[in-house]
Amino acid sequence: MGSLVLEALSKRYGSSTAVERVDLEVTQGEMVALLGPSGCGKTTTLRMVAGFIPPTAGRVIIGGQDVTHTPPYARDTGMVFQSYALFPHMSVAQNVAFGLEMRKVGRAERDARVMEALRLVRLDHLADRLPRQLSGGQQQRVALARALVVNPAVFLLDEPLSNLDAKLRGEVRMEIRALQQRLGLTTLIVTHDQEEALTMADRLVVMERGRVRQVGTAEELYEHPADPFVAGFVGRCNLIPGRLEAADAFRAESGALLHCDSGAAPGPAPTGAALLALRPERIGLAPDPAGRARITAVTYLGAQTEYHVEQDGTALLVARPTAPLGDPLRRLAVGDAVVLSWDAAAARLLPAE
Amino acid sequence: MLLPAPRTLLFRTAIGAAFLLMLAPVAMVMVISVFRQEIVSFPPPGLTLEWYVNAWARQEFARGFVTSLQVALLATAIGVPLGTAAALALQRSAIRGKGALNTLLLGPLAVPGVVAGTALYMFYLRAEFWLDRDLTATLEGLVAAHVLLTIPWTVRLVSASLQGLDRAAEEAAANLGARPLTVFRRVTLPMLRPGIVAAALFSFIQSFENLELTLLLVGPGRTTLPVAMLSYLEFRIDPTLAAVATVQIVLVAGLMLITDRFVKLSRVV
Amino acid sequence: MTTTRRAALTGSAAALASLTAGLPGLARAQSKQVVVGTWGGDYGELLRQNIDQPLVVPQGIEVLQDIAVADPRKTKLLAERQARRGTYDIACLSDTDMHMVAAQNVFEPLEMGKLKRGSAILPALAKPYAVPHIYSALVLLYNPSKVTTPPTGFADMWDPKYRGRVGFSDILYSTNTFSAAMAGGGSFSDYEPAKKKLMEMRSLDARIYPSNEALAGALKSEEVWLTPMWLARGFMWQKAGIPVKHVVPKEGAYAIVFEAAIPKNSRNKDNAYTYLDAMLQPSAQAAFADRMGYLPTVKDAPLPAAIAQQISLSEAEQERLRAPDYDYLLKSHSEILDFWNKQFKA
Amino acid sequence: MAALVLPAGLLVVMLLVAPMALLARISLNRFSPTELMVEATTAENYWRAVQDPYYQQVLGTTLGVALGCTVLALALGFPAAYWLARMESRWKSLATILVLFPLLVGNVVRSAGWMALLGNEGAINAALMGAGITGGPLPLLYNGGAVVVGIVAVVLPYMILTLAAVIEGIPRQAEEAAANLGGRPMTVFRRVVLPLALPGVVAGSVLVFILCMNAYATPVLLGGPQFKMMAPAVYDQFVRGNNWPFGAALAFILLAVTLVLTVVGSTLLGRRYRAA
């Protein structure tokens, strides 16, 4: 086991940049998620850690050792591929045993550890099957067992859940997290699914176009997004363009005046063009015939109900816990006038892009 | 992307040796085409272009080239559609005895060219007697024989292409209201294009360079280039052949580079 | 998109049409044609330059050469002998091949009335089924700087001091066997002694080359010094800078005659006779002598003195020269080939 | 749909099966030096070919050369095919063309190239003697070695292209996974790439083996007179000896041996693949 450090890691292909000066430290036993839209460089970063792509600049340090120029087979990382990459010509047990063979682990110990790993993922009864005889979820667990059985210093997961159906995904997510915590694995996971990242990782790294936008815990990112991209990517967010008129007043481009607290965020308030970030669930809503806001759509989601609202030419999304039957909120329909309210501190000012 | 590619000396040596074996004789032919002496020996006493002049003056090579080109193009134009149709039937229909049919269609590949050529020649002679019509030494007879060369390659390559085809696209087309023939023309055929181009390329190659099957089937004024070259060897010993071959090599290389501009050969074969 | 594709389709259809057009038009049944089955290389080229172009084409006859090595053409003649229409109007073969094919009743007996130049043919070379075109003699070629005492006969090849220095061309297996037979006291009609002599030659490390060209290369590099060969070849090789001289062996040797005949199923017999006449014209005969070193087969062909001196034979030499025993060769051909392949070369 | 197989099928029946049937009939006839072919129904041609030590040896040589060339082509072709299949740069087209285009230059021409390289006065001997490494020319041409080299060069493109097509279908991630688990490049190659490429190995080897068994021009031109393989022997009987019945019998023996070995070989290899 060991920590993972990336120092100013960069990858350029000719004139195009895939990854630009990524700095990151994953401490022993921590799980960090690389999050971002496709093409943001997160997979390239992961593959540089595994050693499949040589970085153009920067260093990869595993357990205090610089492995930037170490070939993949000597790096001691355990990777789970998006496609699982099981060896189709080997049985489940042979797949899992492969890494131990490479490490010249003796036969008896090897067999024992393979069975142990398979028990860990509850597949010990399928040891002699070929990968193509397994379901997608089972294949995924074989891939996990195969990566874990060698006790890697760093555990790498490349979109491990994207080939599973929604229900299974939820289960496996919990399983992986439990395993990771139980075994104390230093883990880097790549995903484009924010929910996956939020539920599994200790910390998240949001990337966009090869650069790290923000690093932090789920809460930090959600409550204090550093920029509109992070605000929009982690959770949902109303982003209203305009400018700050006073310390507590924001003039939207549509002309509406919205109240806010420019001092809530650290650092100086942006001058000039800015964005007001407002989480949908932080907006209160009450029926009021005199209200300036109109409902344009209502979506019932069970525990929550979402309202699309327009006020002075600005469209906002509001999410409220579904009110009990009989509550006036339950009767709201398209076209009804409402009044919106929010805490000034909940409205964050972000610099315009 | 960096690959875990073996970079051992052994591995590199094998690659180098493979390319050396394939290319050295071709390069050598180009080299000796400018040697001045009639009987090739190293080092040459001097260089000359006279063999090129001689090659040009000999009608048999230019004619042979035209005949070879003509036969190869016709055989490809006939054999590839027939072979593609057969591959479709073998891969997609529920006929019985697919294995036997497949073996039959690949058969021409397994029979030595010398044997097939002799058998075909004798067969043509019998057929001429029954039909009272020329077959040996005719363009039709020659092209028919060469179609035999193109069919197995087409069946082989198009079948492989069909096996790798995602049928969902065809189903989507049918779902959007396309009739079977339209599905084939608008979806299947374009998706098969790489396989068909590869089949056409190999068919052309097989026909163009064929010597053994052709030996007895060529006729007056209709001799293919490989046969013309072999015939020239019997009475002459100078590097004219090397000059002819060099011109051929340059033409072929040019043709391939042009083809590659339109269809990336690396994606086809 | 649609229009361009259609245009491309029509374009390729037109290209296909132009591919097939024209050539089938060379239908062979036309009466103004003559199809000559011949060797390629210099032989075909000299036919074209000295017979086809100046002598036959002006008479309004189109000449089509079918160029191939002798063996497949021989096979074609034999295979086609029952066909109503054959490929060739004129078949060119060496005398031994010609006799073998003629024995299968393939050729038209020559009508001397139709052959205007028939009377000019050297009587010794006349055949009922073929006209002689050119001829040469079997000789022993040697490298004068290595073989310092000029050899006199085939038997000299068995001199142990030439161990490993005797070369044979594989395709001349019959001729080579003949030379061994003569060295071993055999005759034109008895090759039996060749077997013993060839096995002796085998233990003397004789070299065998796959073709005449390969043998020429070996003579040039002085890898071998002695070989039985046609005088005309020796002449050509000398011109190409190969160090060889020749001797007509004292044991006796035969002449090789390149002949031309008309198959029975020829489609244009009259044109074929015209062509045979042209082959016998003095100018054409002289050209072959000049370029390839073969001797004219007619009495009235003038030879330049320099060439005549190199390729002609003295009277004494001519006396040692005879025609091969064709019937014997026909009967023993496969046995000779078998022995050569399976015993001598094995 | 099924009818689509008819045109090609009929064509092959007409142009290959029927002529071969005719040839089979001829193989039962009798040869006579004076009359060439005498109608008969006899197996004596086959019997003679099988019993004759000369043809046993020719067949043995052919088998040896074919097997040797197949193994060599596989050994040299696999790395090249792997390299080609995994190449991503724009050089890939060029490399593909380099593999393809020797195919278009006929065997006769390529053999002429080998002769200029290997002959006593050829480039290699001239270089060796020029450098004073050898005193006299080495006998490089006109022996089995020259034939093997020549045939391997002829069949390599077929082997490489067949293998490359299969290797391209092997997911790269399988190799990466193996490397990630600590497999060194040669181990990954041996344990993952090779077994997964086995169908290509079978297809390529079968194709190449057949091409080697049937080789004609290369053994004739490079082997020299003392070196004999089956296809030239068949041609000799047909065209030089005019012994069509015997030539036909030899042809069918060659065909039968090739087919039996091909089927046995691919079944064995195929079984190994399924077992693996």
On whether residue A228 sits in a domain, the answer given is no
> What is d(CA D168, CA D84) in angstroms, rounded to the nearest whole number?
9
CA A132 to chain centroid, in Å, comes to 30
Domain count, chain C: 2
pLDDT, tens only, B50-90: 888 888 887 778 888 889 999 999 999 999 999 999 999 99
**Contact of chains A and C by CB distance (3 or more pairs under 8 angstroms):** no
pLDDT, tens only, D114-164: 988 988 878 888 888 888 888 878 888 888 999 999 999 999 999 999 999
Whether the pLDDT of residue C181 is over 70: the answer is yes
CB–CB contact B221 C66 (8 Å): yes
> What is d(CA D198, CA D169) in angstroms, rounded to the nearest whole number?
12
Residue C113's CB is within 10 A of a number of other CB atoms, namely: 8
Three-class SS of residue A157? strand
For residue A91, what pLDDT is reported? 92
Q: What is the pTM of this model?
A: 0.84
Q: Which CATH number fits domain B47-268: 1.10.1660.10, 2.60.120.1600, 1.10.3720.10, 3.30.70.1050?
A: 1.10.3720.10
Would you list which residues of chain B are within 8 Å, Cβ to Cβ, of chain A? 1-4
Q: Is A74 on the interface with B (CB under 8 A)?
A: no
Whether the pLDDT of residue B234 is over 90: the answer is no
Q: Which amino acid is residue B249, in one-letter code?
A: I
Q: Which amino acid is residue A337, in one-letter code?
A: A
Across C49-74, average pLDDT: 88
E strands, chain D, are 30-32, 36-38
CB–CB contact B1 A52 (8 Å): yes
**Contact of chains A and B by CB distance (3 or more pairs under 8 angstroms):** yes
Q: Is A48 on the interface with B (CB under 8 A)?
A: no
Q: Is A52 on the interface with B (CB under 8 A)?
A: yes
54-83 of D, contacting C, C-beta below 8 A: 54, 57
Chains that touch A (3 or more CB pairs under 8 A): B, D
Share the mean pLDDT of chain D.
88
> How distant is the Cα of C206 from the closest Cα of chain B, in angstroms?
22
> How distant is the Cα of C345 from the closest Cα of chain D, in angstroms?
5
> What is d(CA C258, CA C255) in angstroms, rounded to the nearest whole number?
10
- For A69, the closest chain B residue by CA position comes to B2
Sign of the dihedral through C-alpha B20, B21, B22, B24: positive
Q: Best of A52, A60, A75 to disrupt the B interface by mutation (most B CBs within 10 Å)?
A: A52
CB–CB contact A54 B2 (8 Å): yes
> What is d(CA D210, CA B111) in angstroms, rounded to the nearest whole number?
9
CB A206 within 8 A of CB A223: no
> Which string of DSSP letters, residue by residue, matches A215-254?
EE-HHHHHHS-SSHHHHHHSS--EEEEEEEEETTEEEETT
pLDDT, tens only, C108-158: 999 988 999 989 998 888 899 999 999 999 999 999 999 999 999 999 999
> What is d(CA D182, CA A15) in angstroms, rounded to the nearest whole number?
33
Domain count, chain A: 2
Closest partner residue to B226 (CB to CB) among D78, D108, D254 is D108
Closest partner residue to B265 (CB to CB) among D96, D157, D216 is D96
Domain housing A155: 4-223
DSSP secondary structure code for residue A316 in this structure: E
Residue for token digits 């393809």?
Answer: D100
> How distant is the Cα of B98 from the closest Cα of chain C, in angstroms?
33
Percent of chain D residues topping a pLDDT of 70? 98
| Cβ-based contacts of D223 with chain C (< 8 Å) | 210
Say if residue C250 is in the same domain as residue C321. yes
For residue B235, what pLDDT is reported? 57
Residues of chain A under the 70 pLDDT cut: 1, 263-270, 353
For residue C341, what pLDDT is reported? 87
Say if residue A97 is in the same domain as residue A171. yes
Say if residue A242 is in the same domain as residue A288. yes
Q: Is D238 on the interface with C (CB under 8 A)?
A: yes
Closest partner residue to A73 (CB to CB) among B2, B3, B4 is B4
> How distant is the Cα of A77 from the closest Cα of chain D, in angstroms?
6
Structure tokens at C92: 């060119």
CB–CB contact A73 B2 (8 Å): no
Three-class SS of residue A212? strand
CB B161 within 8 A of CB B194: yes
Say if residue C209 is in the same domain as residue C328. yes
| Cβ-based contacts of C331 with chain D (< 8 Å) | 33-34
- Among candidates A109, A108, A146, which has minimal Cα distance to A127? A146
Q: Where does a domain end: A163, A197, A223?
A: A223
- For A13, the closest chain B residue by CA position comes to B1
For residue B166, what pLDDT is reported? 76
- For B43, the closest chain D residue by CA position comes to D126
**Contact of chains D and A by CB distance (3 or more pairs under 8 angstroms):** yes
For residue D10, what pLDDT is reported? 93
On whether residue A231 sits in a domain, the answer given is no
For residue D272, what pLDDT is reported? 66
Q: Best of B234, B236, B238 to disrupt the C interface by mutation (most C CBs within 10 Å)?
A: B234
For residue B3, what pLDDT is reported? 46
> What is d(CA A347, CA A238) in angstroms, rounded to the nearest whole number?
10
Across C58-76, average pLDDT: 86
> What is d(CA C238, CA C143) in angstroms, rounded to the nearest whole number?
11
Q: How much helix, strand and coil, in percent to the nearest 5, is found in chain D?
A: 75, 0, 20
Structure tokens at B186: 């608008």
pLDDT, tens only, B111-150: 988 899 989 988 998 888 788 777 877 888 999 999 999 9
| Cβ-based contacts of B23 with chain D (< 8 Å) | 98, 102
Residue-range domain boundaries for chain B? 47-268
> What is d(CA B48, CA B97) in angstroms, rounded to the nearest whole number?
60
Percent of chain B residues topping a pLDDT of 90? 24
Whether the pLDDT of residue C1 is over 50: the answer is no
CB–CB contact D181 A71 (8 Å): no
CA D159 to chain centroid, in Å, comes to 10
Say if residue C77 is in the same domain as residue C124. yes
Burial of A70 (0-12, 13-18, 19+ CB in 10 A): middle
Structure tokens at A175: 């399983």
The two beta strands, A203-208 and A31-35, are parallel
> How distant is the Cα of D166 from the closest Cα of chain B, in angstroms?
10
Burial of C119 (0-12, 13-18, 19+ CB in 10 A): exposed
> How distant is the Cα of C217 from the closest Cα of chain D, in angstroms?
8
Helix (H) or strand (E) holding B208: helix B189-208
Structure tokens at D198: 């086995």
> How distant is the Cα of A74 from the closest Cα of chain D, in angstroms?
6
Helix (H) or strand (E) holding A203: strand A203-208
Say if residue A247 is in the same domain as residue A214. no
Domain covering D68-227 in this structure, CATH number: 1.10.3720.10
Residue A98's CB is within 10 A of a number of other CB atoms, namely: 26
> What is d(CA C62, CA C53) in angstroms, rounded to the nearest whole number?
9
29-68 of C, contacting B, C-beta below 8 A: 35-37, 39-45, 48, 64-68
CATH number of the domain encompassing residue A250: 2.40.50.140
pLDDT, tens only, C293-319: 888 999 888 888 878 877 888 888 888
CB–CB contact B235 C66 (8 Å): no
| Cβ-based contacts of A76 with chain D (< 8 Å) | 182
| Cβ-based contacts of A73 with chain B (< 8 Å) | 4
CB B224 within 8 A of CB B141: no
Say if residue A300 is in the same domain as residue A208. no
Whether the pLDDT of residue C15 is over 70: the answer is no
CB–CB contact D228 C341 (8 Å): yes
For residue B42, what pLDDT is reported? 75
- Among candidates B116, B84, C51, B43, which has minimal Cα distance to D216? B116
Domain housing C57: 2-133+257-308
Share the mean pLDDT of chain C.
85
CB C50 within 8 A of CB C14: no
CB contact set of D125 (below 8 Å; sequence gap of 6+):
B42, D118, D119, D134, D137, D138, D140
CB–CB contact D195 A89 (8 Å): yes
> What is d(CA D133, CA D129) in angstroms, rounded to the nearest whole number?
6
> How distant is the Cα of D166 from the closest Cα of chain A, in angstroms?
14
ipTM > 0.90 (yes/no): no
Using CA atoms, how far residue D39 sits from A21, A307, C100, D27, in Å, is 88, 99, 20, 10
CB contact set of B224 (below 8 Å; sequence gap of 6+):
B64, B67, B68, B71, B142, B210, B214, B218
